[in-house]
Structure 1
Amino acid sequence: MATTFRWLLRLFLGLACLAALVVIVLYWFAGRSLPDYDRTLTVPGITSGVEIVRDSSSVPHIFGASDPDVFYGLGFAHAQDRLWQMTMMRRAAQGRLSEIFGRRTVKTDELLRRLDLYGLSVRSVEAQSAQTRAALSAYAAGVNAWLDEVNTGALGRGAPEFFLFSPQIARWQPADSIALVKLMALRMSAQLPNEVLRARSSLLLEDDRLRDLMPDVPGGGITALPEYAALFPKMRGMQFAAAERAQEGDAFYPVGPADFAGASNAWAAGPSRSATGGTLLANDPHLELTAPSIWYLARLELDTGGVIGGTIPGIPAVLVGRSERLGWGLTSSYMDDLDVYIERLDPDDPQRVATPEGMQTMRKRNSIIRIKDSEPISLTLRWSQNGPVLPGGHAGLAQITPPGHVTSIAWTGLSDSDRSIGAAIALMKAGSVEEAIAAGKDFVAPSQNLTLVDAETIALKTIGAMPRRDQDHQSLGRMPSPGWVAANRWKGLFDYASNPEFVAPSGGILGNTNNKLLERPFPLHVTYDWGDTQRIHRWRRLMQSREVHTRESFIEAQLDTVSFTARSLLPLVAADLWYTGAAAADGTPERQRQRALELLAGWNGEMSEHLPEPLIYAAWLNALQQRLIEDELGPLAGEFIHVQPLFIERVYRDIDGASAWCDIRQSARLETCSDMARMALDDALIWISERYGRAFESLRWGDAHQAAQDHPVLGEIIGLNWLTNIRQSTSGGDNTLRRGLTRGTGPDPFQNVHAAGYRGVYDFADPDSSVFIISTGQSGHPLSRHYDDLGELWRRGEYIPMSLDPQLARAAAVGVTRLLPRPAAR
């Protein structure tokens, strides 16, 4: 026995040593791709030296003798830290993911090939100005210089992911950056899923009930607030101090539910509403949370001065941030810049479709998708006069396409002379609000609300191409329409001057939470499907509650977690349930319901991660909406994965007979809305009890509302996911200013998966007191200490300084990379 034990012990120790050796070897190989930030390199393609100073948070401050050299440095820094992310986004835009991931990404590749985003990007290069082409070429050369350094220095293939997948990395091209802008535009568009969902719902519902579920946004729009004195007449005259979901396992599929399209907040205060007399700007764009974040912080020292803020790796521009003279922020405008068309096929020749001029042959081209470990797939790509033809397997199109027809889309992003990236570069160089608005003229897609401040002026301008539709368009662009009817076809684009614009409002404050901006008649309406009807009310209250604002009050608003939706809906839904009946016996469903209602009765609507009430409220409203719609919509009810506040309000106020939703059609009795509220609360409490226990007072919203920042590939591999995925308890919710949009489905429906990956607050009375943060860290390398070092600050609502003082960057630099021009070969 002793001998057996000794041998078993030796075997165990031997295996443990072998495992440790394997881990050490793997760590060594993976660690080879960690960049050394403190080096001097000679590189081709620059005219003079480039210096990349990384401050204590690893934010690169890039200095060069010319703008092209600075863009070269940005490309080099992006590639050092986010090479895998950049190349995967490029592969997605090219429709080439299946070459390394196999069959699971075929659907994504097929969609991107049919849209031909990359081909359009290649053709768009020639449409750029000389300045933009120089920036794109220099940026690409910087990326390629790092690729050369990886290859010659055997630096672990550039990123640890390349040890698991194909290590082949094509050299970066100017078209690649344009393609990434187009890919982001596609990801941020809500119009395709909105049109399809409205069409599918209309097939099941009468017009009145469709208006309940997908109502028009009420009111005339909110952008600029009135003068403070107009709100408080007694203050007039007083002097103020100057002052169809992704394919399973395919995280790259770019068209999801409309709820997950881009969102964001931005607001600005002019000197009259600022305590210090300088303008203020706050911005937090909302996108899908990933590890690493889509955002990357950087500072560029251009010939017009320093620029600092958020970039997206692969794109040579500070997309949100500030210069010494200007601050800018972005929010999704939800402009209706896409139409779905139903194309009637010629029954004698399916390559021909009906047009206003008769049957015409569609343009077509063949394409081959190469698939890892499988035979390649040959596609026939087709285009009607309206745009590319998409099969029914995308975005639920099969559900609304009649036999003998196909669907196509018209979208402003399908331009082969897209100068959006040039507009972004010109914006960085603008020195005033007026110049910045002029720079936005070339922007095509994604359409955004551009919030601007300079030293004296605040403004908001919607940028992006706006389609000109016929007054007699059959669906007003809201649902798929017959592609052969002339009135349904676009008549070109509106002039840039037609886009909404608000400059120097008299009230001194403006902002946008993706809410309705204005009321204009079709076809100048901008859109019918605005992105927010809730956050705007809380924002307006916070802005109007102060005479003047400060950087701190803007930060407070940015981090606000009080839900206007909860405060307005709970009194309606629970009107007949508060304090009804005698106390029930412990352990009964009635007692559980009473305990939950007692908690909610004293709640102020704050979606704090430490409270139980947000979880009870969210689970209740979720269950309530499902009960209201499932018998009318059947399986389609599963498409409405988030609570629709306007729908719940219409039902419980019985607007236009909307209380009819409360009756379950399949039952013999007539259910009331109070019945539905009570049954839904019981459903929610059962789910909570099974998942989190019956001690409601000890529940924490943050346990359910964890920010799920997962690596799109390694995060699915058991063993590696604990290293790559970032999970954090977070406050906020679907409808709070500190927005944390929940997953909506699956075993963890309240996970926070779509939020402000970047936050910035800029104070032009003291620009160097401006602050910003991203949700993870600067590095995309899981072994880097900068992979998640900013994440905890982000979770706690903290920021890092946004200074353009080069001495401050150097004072605590983690490294300085110097790029020297390589001598010409003799």
Structure 2
Amino acid sequence: RRMILGPGLVGEEIGSNNWVVGPSLTVNGNALLSNDPHLGMTQPATWYLAHLDATTNGSGAIHAAGATFAGLPWVIVGQNESIAWGLTTTVMDFSDVYIETLVKDAGGNPTGVMFKGEEVPFIRRPFTINFSDGTSQENELLFVPHHGAVREIDGVNDTAVTLRWTGNDIDTDINFLTELAQATTMEEARLALENITTIGQNVVVIDPDNNIGWFPYNRLPKRTWATNLDGDAPPWLPLDGTGAYEWEEYFAIEELPQALNPASGYIATANNDMTGALFDGDPTTLPNGDPIAPYQVDSAAGFRHSQITNLIEGIGDQHSRETMDAIISDVYSLMGERMVPGMIAIANDPLTMPTVEGRKVINALQDWNFTCPTGLDGTNSDLSPLVSDQNELTEASGCMAFHALLNELRFLIELNESAPTGRKPSIAVYYSIVDPSELVAGDVYWDDPATPELETKFEVMSAALDTVGNFLVSELGADETQWAWGRLHGLQLSSDLSTFGIFAYDNPTPNQPLFANDGGLFTVDVANPGTTDFVQTAGPSTRFVCEASPDGPTCRIQLPGGQSSDIDSPFYEDLLFPYLANEPMPLVFDIAEAAANAEQTVSFP
């Protein structure tokens, strides 16, 4: 049998939400924008708030403010005097891996590859690594001119692996942020975004005339030769590098998906499938059967995008900055809503025989209305008391039970199935619980193929309920109505030094309580827990909301950290606690106001 699996670990901490709402759906008749880029959560914060003003007291052309990376001379997510913009990753397919046919010299040494019947020599780039002990090492990088870097050579089988990436051909990308910062209209912003060749972002924009736009521009190869898995060239697998599957044509800008003032009155992106082409596992056909040269071979699961559209449409024509803040902070688990009925149906079947502890998990799930508050009055996962509102605590308990049971079921269903790692459960896990008829192989994945016995879904569910029940009782107590999600689920901000095994600068430091945080797996306010624990290490790296007007946008922002990278500074983490409470602050755009309220000013001659 072949397991149909979802995406794995690679890139899973890179995501985001953004959306724009047109004037027909807003209380004030002004367009609105929201953006929350999802990245690894770091300390100091990934983003740095910056205000670049060359116009108020100068003769320059740029006046912009927002979030950037420390040291860059541009605002990446932000506003200028006329427009505001936000970014999320498109998950477009920017690379192909090729299996090359090696050419060797008389001594058997690889010298190049075969391409369209001709020998093509490697480009060789020698370099020296000097070590601190005074020794050195000579190395050489190899490149195939028409594909890119050689990643591996198999001399025995006369093959090599190369990577073709749009980034190898980058040229005008550096211009787009400069031009976007100076744009005054939607069309000027769109033209600025035509500079993008590689970075692949869903850029949403609002302008003073209350236009809303979405432009996922990129110089993207048009793989007209791509096939499904039953053909010779599935674009998500390594390709024959001898010349049949090349980047000889690119999508024109107007061929890429995009939108300007759609009839719906809004545009939302969340790293989602842009056309529906991916759902059946074949990115080369649209849902209606029409062929398409694929530009995505992966996407997010779709729960965030669906919930965002549900909320936008549910609010109707009453949108405001406050509703944008509410949506960006939403912790409703659409995944829980879809999966819990199936879990309960199996759990309550007479063939499932849970223990007393397992029954507590069922009780918590049956009482859950699918939201994920922490259940704590405060942000200290160990010391903050439980909230006094039992309804909120019941929701926190249900969220806790769902995530714990999902992790255990996933472990048991995917056991010995060569399933992907990471936070995303496989399609086999999801549909085994929700609707096994959607699986090509049928309802077969409950069985562990490594054992001679045939395990049933009822046996697996019984074991999972008991394991989870025993764990939660031991960790959180015997009362399943007080299993506060925030006791085990919390935010961990990692310093760059943790990459080298130095954890003393993480926040919190090792063995200290986590920052209790609401949200859960694939909620809009995403707070994906780990699969072996419930620690959140990635999420909204900033939250940004703007309202357009003829006088320019008004924006507010949240940041999980502070403006200072000095661990002893009072501004090292002072913005974290409003962030955990989903409390935005104004993005000050008047330079005189910023100067008048500055805690510190540094002047350069």
State if a TM-score over 0.5 links the two structures: yes
- Pick closer, same or farther for the CA change 1:579–1:691 going to 2, 3 Å: same
Q: Hey, what's the Cα distance between the residues in 1 that align with 2:91 and 2:313?
A: 26
Partner of 1:423: 176
1:264 maps to 2:16: yes
Residues in 2 aligned to 1:345 and 1:573: alpha-carbon distance in whole angstroms: 52
Residue 729 of structure 1 corresponds to: 516
Which position in structure 1 is the counterpart of 2:234?
476
Shift of 1:325: 1.3
Shift of 1:733: 1.8
Partner residue of 2:271 out of 499, 514, 519: 514
Aligned residue pairs total 551
Does the 8 A contact of 1:759 with 1:772 survive in 2?
A: yes
- Aligned twin of 1:370: 130
Gaps of 5+ in 2: 55-59, 278-285, 376-395
Matches of 1:421 and 1:427, distance apart in 2? 11
3-state SS of the aligned residue for 2:402? helix
Q: Deviations over 1:346-394 (max 9, x none)?
A: 36332322322244321111122334458444321011231101148xx
Matched, 1:606 2:371: yes
Q: Is the 8 Å Cα contact of residues 569 and 648 (structure 1) preserved in structure 2?
A: no
Q: Distance in 2 between matches of 1:342 and 1:421?
A: 32
- Distance in 2 (alpha carbons) for counterparts of 1:472 and 1:333: 20
2:428 to 640, 643, 647: 647
TM-score between both structures, scaled by the size of structure 2 = 0.84
For residues 31 and 342 of structure 2, what CA distance do their matches in structure 1 show?
40
Between the aligned partners of 2:223 and 2:350, the Cα distance in structure 1 is 55
C-alpha displacement of 1:775: 0.9
Partner of 1:322: 79
Aligned to 1:389: 150
Q: Cα distance, 1:522 vs. partner?
A: 5.8
- Match of 1:702, as an amino acid? G
Measured against aligned partners, the alpha-carbon deviations of 1:488-547 in whole angstroms (never above 9, x if no partner) come to: 221143222222110000111111011112255665432021123211121121011122
- 8 Å contact 1:557–1:737 — kept in the other structure? yes
The Cα of 1:628 is off from its aligned counterpart by 1.4
How far is the alpha carbon of 1:795 from its aligned partner? 1.0
What is the identity, as a one-letter code, of the residue corresponding to 1:265? N
d(CA) in 2 for partners of 1:374, 1:541: 62
The 3-state SS of whatever aligns with 2:194 is helix
Q: Indicate if the aligned counterparts of 1:336 and 1:528 stay in contact, CA closer than 8 A.
A: yes
Q: 1:651 to 1:720 in 2, by over 3 A?
A: closer
C-alpha displacement of 1:798: 0.9
**Aligned with residue 32 of structure 2, among 273, 280, 284:** 280
The amino acid of 1:808's aligned partner reads: E
- Across the aligned residues of Structure 1 and Structure 2, the Cα RMSD in angstroms comes to 2.7
Q: Which of 526, 530, 552 pairs up with 2:295? A: 526
Q: Does 1:445 align with 2:202?
A: no
Structure 1: distance between partners of 2:426 and 2:112:
44
**Cα deviation code 1:274-319 (max 9, x no counterpart):** 1101110000111111111110111112444631111111321111
Provide closer, same or farther for how the CA distance between residues 719 and 776 of structure 1 changes in structure 2, counting only shifts above 3 A: closer
Cα separation, 1, equivalents of 2:129 and 2:295:
37
Instruction: Name the structure 2 match of 1:740.
Output: 527
Report the Cα offset of residue 671 of structure 1: 2.6
- Residue 689 of structure 1: CA displacement? 4.7
* Structure 1 partner of 2:6: 214
After superposition, the Cα gap between the structure-2 partners of 1:696 and 1:723, relative to the gap in structure 1 and judged at 3 Å, is closer
- Going from structure 1 to structure 2, the CA distance change for 1:373 and 1:276 (only over 3 Å counts) comes to farther
CA distance in structure 1 between the partners assigned to 2:555 and 2:505 by the alignment: 37
2:56 is the counterpart of 1:296: no
Name the CA distance, whole Å, in 2 between partners of 1:363 and 1:624. 50
Is residue 380 from structure 1 mapped to residue 140 from structure 2 by the alignment?
A: yes
Q: Any gaps of 5 or more consecutive residues in structure 1?
A: 1-204, 216-255, 393-397, 821-826
Q: Residues 346 and 457 of structure 2 are in contact (CA less than 8 Å); yes or no, is this contact kept in structure 1?
A: no
Question: Hey, what does 1:83 align to over in structure 2?
Answer: none
User: Structure 2: how far apart are the matches of 1:379 and 1:686?
Assistant: 55
**Counterparts of 1:684 and 1:512, CA distance in 2:** 35
Return the index of the structure with the highest Cα Rg: 1
1:698-713, aligned counterparts within 5 Å?
A: 698-713=482-497
Residue of structure 2 in register with 1:619 after alignment: 404
Q: Secondary structure at the match of 1:452?
A: strand
Contact 1:621 1:643 (C-alpha < 8 Å) held by counterparts: no
Q: Which amino acid aligns with 1:651?
A: S
Equivalent-residue separation in structure 2 for 1:323 and 1:704 (angstroms)? 41
What do residues 244-293 of structure 1 show as CA deviations (whole Å, max 9, x unaligned)? Answer: xxxxxxxxxxxx93242521101111111111011100001111111111
Give the C-alpha shift of residue 759 in structure 1: 0.7
Q: Mapping of 1:749-788 within 5 angstroms?
A: 749-765=533-549, 769-788=554-573
**Residue 543 of structure 1: aligned partner:** 312
Contact 1:559 1:738 in 2 (8 A): yes
Matched residues in 2 for 1:426 and 1:564: separation? 39
Three-state SS of the structure 2 residue aligned to 1:647 is helix
CA contact (8 A) 1:768 1:802 kept: no
Q: 1:403 to 1:696 in 2, by over 3 A?
A: farther
CA distance in 1, matches of 2:40, 2:291: 32
Letter in 2 for 1:299: H
Paired residue secondary structure (1:555): helix
Residues 625 and 643, structure 1, Cα contact 8 Å, conserved in 2: no
Q: Is the 8 A contact 2:53 2:591 kept in 1?
A: no
Given that 1:472 and 1:487 are in contact with CA atoms closer than 8 Å, whether structure 2 keeps it comes out as no
Counterparts of 1:437 and 1:753, CA distance in 2: 34
Q: Secondary structure at the match of 1:632?
A: coil
Looking at structure 2, the residues matched to 380 and 690 of structure 1 have their Cα atoms a distance apart, in angstroms, of 56
How far, CA to CA, are the matches of 1:510 and 1:717 in structure 2?
Answer: 43
Q: Structure 1 vs Structure 2: percent identity of aligned residues?
A: 24
Please state how far the C-alpha of 1:704 moved relative to its aligned partner.
2.4
Distance of 1:374 and 1:684 partners within structure 2? 55
As a proportion of its length, which structure holds more helix?
A: 1
Structure 2 CA distance, aligned partners of 1:685 and 1:574?
15
Query: Does residue 354 of structure 1 match 2:114?
Result: yes
Instruction: Return the offset for 1:626.
Output: 1.9
* Counterpart-to-counterpart distance in 2, 1:718 and 1:434: 47
